[in-house]
Amino acid sequence: MTRASRWDAVLFDLDGTLADSIELILRCYRHTMQVHLGEVPPDAAWLAGLGRPLHEQLREFARTDAEADAMFETYETYQRSVHDELVRAYPGVADMLDAIAGAGVRLAVVTGKRREMAVRTLRVCGLESFFPVLITPDDASPGKPSPAPVRAAAAALGLTRSSRILFAGDSPHDIAAGRAAGVRTAAALWGAPEPGPLLAARPDYRVETVDALTALVLA
């Protein structure tokens, strides 16, 4: 296979980068807050934490550790019931992955979503076959913005040259994790609900569209 990219691998966040799942995430958040708090804080309070492991996000809203555990169970139970109808791949993502893989570039997902639901999301979106490596909070701890999940993905791919790895995500926590791991980072603006904080995290590249990321990788 002829290499047609300067990159050895591209790592992707899942929700908001490959999968259009923001409505799913917000519905699960609102349901969980209503059940346990009797009210729903502004969506922006939840969106600011996207990219981190779910339990860590919930702990910031819970009044006790026990309540955080209960919130986690509520969130995941509700998520399982509505997931498949509310998640889909962003338009053009499958073509992008096909083109990148065809250039000899390795692919991996690095997500704050637990493995069970991450695998389900990839399957529903028709993207499962592209990713031999999937790093979740079940595989590396602590989660993003720690560099541990990014480093775990690089190790699973057998790669050591961090400067030849690109991590694309829609959250400031993705950018922070990539920077801490020494890889290059790309802000996936097509899925970012709040682009300001994402760009303030100082990504190496900003990409407005899926096609723009394809062009960046294959340039």
Q: How far apart are the first and last CA of the chain?
A: 17
Active site (annotated) includes residue 13: yes
- Residue position matching structure tokens 């893989």: 101
The pair of structure tokens assigned to 61 is 């809203």
| Positive or negative: CA dihedral 58, 64, 65, 71 | negative
Side-chain-side CA neighbours of 108 within 13 Å: the count stands at 24
Please identify which of the residues 8, 13, 139, 174 carries the catalytic annotation: 13
Neighbouring CB atoms inside 10 A of 132's CB total 10
- CA dist., res. 192 & res. 22, Å (int): 9
Q: Which active-site residues does the annotation give? A: 13
